[in-house]
Amino acid sequence: MERQPLVLLVDDEEDLCTLMQMSLSRMGIKTHIAYRLEQAKKCLSDHQYDACLTDLNLPDGNGLQLVEWIGQHLPALPVAVLTAYGNMEIAIAALKAGAFDFVSKPINQKHLEQLLQKALNKPVENFQSKEDSLEQKLLIGQSLPIQQLRITLNKIARSQAPVFITGESGTGKEVIANLVHRLSNRNEGPFIAINCGAIPTELMESELFGHKKGSFTGATQDKQGLIQSAHGGSLFLDEIAELPLTMQVKLLRAVQEKRIRPVGSDAEIDVDFRVISASHQDLEALVQQGRFRQDLFFRIHVMDLVLPPLRERGDDIILLAHHFIQKISQEWGIPQKQLTERARNFLLNQYYPGNVRELRNIIERAITLSDEDKIDLPHLQSAPLRYPTATALEHQQEAPPAFRSDILVSAKKLPDEGLELYLENIEKDILLNALNLTHWNRTLAAKKLGMSFRSLRYRLKKFGLDTDDE
Q: What is the pLDDT of residue 134?
A: 67
Q: What is the pLDDT of residue 166?
A: 92
Mean pLDDT within 113-130: 65
Q: Could you tell me whether strands 30-34 and 210-211 are parallel, antiparallel, or unpaired per DSSP bridges?
A: unpaired
Assign 431 to helix, strand or coil.
helix
Beta-bridge partners for 262: none
Residues 6+ apart with CB under 8 A from 384: 425, 428, 429, 432
Q: Contact 303/161 with Cβ under 8 angstroms?
A: yes
Mean pLDDT within 339-347: 93
Q: In sequence order, which ranges of 27-143 are alpha helices (DSSP H)?
A: 37-46, 63-73, 88-97, 109-120, 134-138
Backbone angles phi, psi at 192, to 5 degrees: -110, 120
Nearest residue to 92 (alpha-carbon basis) of 230, 256, 236: 256
Backbone angles phi, psi at 79, to 5 degrees: -125, 130
Domains and CATH numbers, the chain: 6-120 (3.40.50.2300), 140-306 (3.40.50.300), 310-381 (1.10.8.60), 384-413 (no CATH), 414-470 (1.10.10.60)
302-320 pLDDT per residue, tens: 888 999 999 999 999 999 9
Percentage of residues in the chain with pLDDT exceeding 70? Answer: 87
Give the model's confidence band at 431: pLDDT under 50 very low, under 70 low, under 90 confident, else very high. Answer: confident
Supply the mean pLDDT for the chain.
83
Please say if the pLDDT value at position 32 is more than 90.
yes
CB atoms within 10 A of CB 197: 18
Assign 77 to helix, strand or coil.
coil
Beta-bridge partners for 53: 9, 80
Mean pLDDT within 290-303: 90
Q: What is the pLDDT of residue 404?
A: 41
38-90 pLDDT per residue, tens: 999 999 999 999 999 999 888 988 888 999 899 889 888 889 888 775 567 77
Q: Give this prediction's pTM.
A: 0.68
